[in-house]
Structures are given as structure tokens and as C-alpha cells.
Amino acid sequence: MVHISDSEWKIMNLLWDEEPRTMTQITKALYKETGWSKHTVITLLKRLEAKGILHYEDGGKSKLFYYDVSRSDAVMEEKKNFLNKVFKGQAGLMVANMIEQGDFSSEDIDMLRDLLSKKS
């Protein structure tokens, strides 16, 4: 699995929500949020294609873009990269840090207890 940049995530989230999409559809969908021109979108699509994360098929007038990496696989890879970079691969250390920092509500903690009891 390869790294997906923040900009590339924006495109992939669109494709994961609905595929296929054309470059024009992607540009229009992201323009308000990003201000990207079609040239920027084309560059990002080419990078994603080179990484093997998406592909296109000829759709007559326009190329139709499809994803080759599922959202769940990309999320799993991102989680592993984050854990390795920030917490030396230790999920328990991350959760402990978040609890100590007060990032979890009591409902979150109850949910974690339930999940952990099912894993034991």
C-alpha cells in the first residue's frame, strides 16, 4: 500500500462515495472547498493512477475514474502509518494518551469497555 496525500484523499473520498466520475465531475465537486482548477485535479488523478490507487476507462468524451483501493484498506494503512509515526506502533499507548488528555467522553469510554470485553 502507498501513501495517499491529504489532497488525494479529497478525490478518493468522492470516488468511494460514487464511482465512476469524470475529471469534470471531480473538479466541480471539489471547487468550492479547494478552488482547484482542472489542471490541479488532472495532476492529482495522474499521481493516484501512478500509485495504483485508481484507474480510468474510456467513457466516450471523458475518462471515467474508478478506485482500485478500497476505503477500508486505505484507512487501515493510514492508521498503521499514524500509529507507527506517532506512537511507535502501539495502539494502547495512543488510547491511553487520548484518555489522559480527556479526548473521550464517558460514552466513548463505555463503548471501549464493551469492545475490550468482547475481545478478551
For domain 6-67, is the CATH number 1.10.10.10? Answer: yes
Cell representation of residue 85 = 509515526
Q: Where are the domains of the chain?
A: 6-67, 71-119
pTM: 0.80
Over its C-alpha atoms, the chain yields an Rg (Å, rounded) of 19
Q: Which CATH class is domain 71-119?
A: mainly alpha
Is residue 108 classed as helix, strand or coil in its secondary structure?
helix
pLDDT digits (tens, 9 = 90+) for 18-73: 999 999 999 999 999 999 999 999 999 999 999 999 999 998 899 999 999 999 99
Taking 90 as the threshold, does the pLDDT of residue 14 lie above it? yes
